[in-house]
Amino acid sequence: MTEIKSKIEIGWNFDNSYTRLPELFFTSVNPTPVSSPKLVILNYPLATSLGLNDKVLEKEDGVAIFAGNQIPLGALPIAQAYAGHQFGHFTMLGDGRAVLLGEQITPKGQRVDIQLKGSGKTPYSRGGDGRAALGPMLREYIISEAMHSLGIPTTRSLAVVTTGQRVIRETEQIGAVLTRVAASHIRVGTFQYASRWGSTKELKALADYTLERHFSHIDEDGNPYLALLREVIKGQAALIAKWQLVGFIHGVMNTDNMTISGETIDYGPCAFMDTYDPATVFSSIDINGRYAYGNQPKIAAWNLARFAETLLPLLHDNEDKAVSLAQDTISDFPQLYHNNWIAGMRAKLGIFNEEPEDESLIEELLSIMEKHGADYTNTFRALTFDSRSDMMLFDTTEFAKWHEQWQQRLDRQKESKASSHQLMRDSNPAIIPRNHRVEEALEAAVKYGDYSVMEKLLKALSCPYAHSPEQADYSTLPTKSDQPYRTFCGT
Ligand code: AMP
Ligand code: MG
């Protein structure tokens, strides 16, 4: 390891609370240095909000840190241990190609993980090379930042550097490291790991740590671990509803890819749905459609049940009582999810108040969209702007009938049509990271070293509710040759 930069110059303000957990939970390991790192993208606004000096970060010293060639002052690099159910099968995992540098305390006093992804082998690599390719890391950058701008809790992307080294996948690819920022990297799988391989004391240490780090504000009501379960369920219910409302498909909702903080994490074979169809699957490895769009809420509930199981020894000394407490709490998920979803759907349709028939109004629209293969995002955009001419769906008699009912529904509320229109503008994105546009940006960057397409896309994605003229270009649908779109695991 070469020279370490001073904390004042870059603004690092690390604490390493995770390293104060029992040793079971991590292994100290440095990133593996690379031959010739080069910065390809830096998230300037994010750097500033973290209290970091972007002028230094974009130069050699910053790039050396993003590549894992230097350790920032105050960082204590570790790989985190975790397990997980992958496509339903329980496995020991851990950070196989990531290193947590530490927790940056931001100028606003927030604690966020700074993690290098693709930074070399760790004790959890299980035969993998510990590395990442440029395409998937840029893909995570684009989609995570788009999610953030859409108002969806997510890990963020601070920078991507190329390593100067090749990684071997199906073909030889350009090696890269992504710097990821997260509220924390504690996963359902971290609890599963503690539950399977730790003592109750170690499990409790993790639960107490998580409570303090993420839920210190909540009313524990005498049983802090039940409160933990409740809060995680609440966070996931809100998160998954937000995914459904924008048509986001995670692709690998394994328990190791579900955070306790309620942030979206691990952008592998994820994608946004074009045509509305609940059975949509993009991931090439999801043969049975386990993680299809329409299944995401059910899978979230399944993952949360696995989380609840890990907490049983902490919930009550009596096992039966612990199980019944867990079951009662878990059974709230479908309703919580539904409340979030329907509130979001009402907003998408410009509805302010609640009527019992709203659900059937919404379902009716979705079923017409499904029947006619309508584009999910563009349908809501067209409804927002009453620009009905450009979609086949709108010529149908079913739609005309639905539209009349919807107008009557809007007339029954006291808010003006103008307020409804504003609510719809704020709730229906003009732009999502459509697969063919993401691929186009990645191809320019990876194949030709041209980052301008990606930068233009990122700019358009940064204000998804602006409905600006430049964004109109991004609402065009993929041609038939772009379909069916398939995504591959980000390895
Ligand atoms: P992911 O599909 O990115 O969620 O990763 C699942 C597990 O595989 C995690 O434990 C990763 O750390 C590990 N993993 C993925 N790619 C690699 C790699 N190239 N080398 C080592 N471990 C990896
Ligand atoms: Mg993962």
Residue by residue, what is the 3-state secondary structure of 306-344? HHHHHHHHHHCCCHHHHHHHHHHHHCCHHHHHHHHHHHH
Tell me how far the alpha carbon of residue 126 lies from the centroid of ligand 1, in angstroms: 9
Cα separation, 212 vs 59, in Å, equals 36
- Mean model confidence pLDDT for the chain: 95
Q: Whose CA is nearest to atom 22 of ligand 1?
A: 96
Shared domain check, 313 and 266 = yes
For residue 21, give the 3-state DSSP assignment: coil
Mean pLDDT of 106-131: 98
State how far the Cα of 258 lies from the Cα of 14, in Å rounded to an integer. 25
Boundary of a domain, candidates 185, 215, 236: 185
Please check whether residues 257 and 316 belong to one and the same domain.
yes
- Residue located nearest, by CA, to atom 6 of ligand 1: 93
Q: Quick one: which H or E segment has residue 438?
A: helix 435-448
Q: Quote the pTM value.
A: 0.97
Distance CA 176, CA 133 (A): 5
140 and 236, same domain (yes or no): no
Q: What is the DSSP letter of 14?
A: E
Summarised one tens digit per residue, pLDDT across range 188-202 is 999 999 999 999 999
- Token pair listed for 105: 């305390």
> Residue 255 C-alpha to ligand 2 middle, in angstroms?
9
Ligand 1 close to Cβ of residue 188 (< 6 A): no
Q: Are residues 74 and 207 in the same domain?
A: no
CA distances from 48 to 44, 120, 345, 347, 460 (A): 6, 27, 34, 32, 21
Indicate the SS3 state at residue 387.
Answer: coil
What six digits make up the tokens of 340? 């979030």
The predicted structure's pLDDT at residue 341: 98
What's the gap in Å between 168 CA and the centre of ligand 1?
A: 15
pLDDT per position as a tens digit, 320-363? 999 999 999 999 999 999 999 999 999 999 999 999 999 999 99
Q: Based on the domain organization, do 25 and 174 belong to the same domain?
A: yes
On whether residue 53 sits in a domain, the answer given is: yes
**Cβ neighbours, 10 Å, residue 344:** 16
Instruction: Check if the beta carbon of residue 66 is closer than 8 Å to that of residue 179.
Output: yes
- 144/212 same-domain check: no
Examine the domain organization and report whether 37 and 63 are in the same domain. yes
Pair type for strands 156-168 and 172-182:
antiparallel
**In this structure, is residue 214 part of a structural domain?**
yes
**Is residue 476 domain-resident?**
no
**Which of 185, 214, 244 is the last residue in one of the domains?**
185
Domain count, the chain: 2
Q: Are residues 36 and 156 in the same domain?
A: yes
Higher pLDDT, 165 or 389: 165
174, 33: one domain: yes
Average pLDDT over residues 99-110: 98
197 and 257 assigned to the same domain: yes
Residues 147 and 71 in one domain: yes
SS3 187: strand
Q: ∠8-14-20 over CA atoms, to 5°?
A: 155
Tell whether 166 is in a known binding site.
Answer: no
Where do we find the tokens 């028939």?
357
Domain co-membership, 99 together with 243: no
Annotated binding residue at 257?
yes
Q: Is position 354 within any domain?
A: no
Region of 351 please: left (phi>0), alpha (psi -120 to 50) or beta: beta
Domain boundary among the residues 131, 161, 185 is at: 185
Residue 264 CA to residue 261 CA, distance in Å, equals 9
Q: Is residue 466 part of a domain?
A: no
Q: Is residue 133 part of a domain?
A: yes
Distance CA 364, CA 368 (A): 6
Q: Among all chains, which residue has been given the structure tokens 């990271």? A: 433
Residues belonging to the active site: 256
**Which domain, by its residues, includes 231?**
189-340
**Looking at the predicted structure, is the pLDDT value of residue 5 above 80?**
no
Helix (H) or strand (E) holding 113: strand 111-117
Reported confidence tier of residue 484, pLDDT bands at 50, 70, 90: confident
In a domain, 238, yes or no: yes
Q: Which of 27, 95, 97, 255 should be mutated for ligand 1, with most atoms under 8 A from CB?
A: 97
Q: What is the pLDDT of residue 489?
A: 60
Spacing, Cα 406 to ligand 2 middle (Å): 42
Q: Which atom of ligand 1 lies nearest, measured to the CA of 94?
A: 10
Q: Is residue 447 part of a domain?
A: no
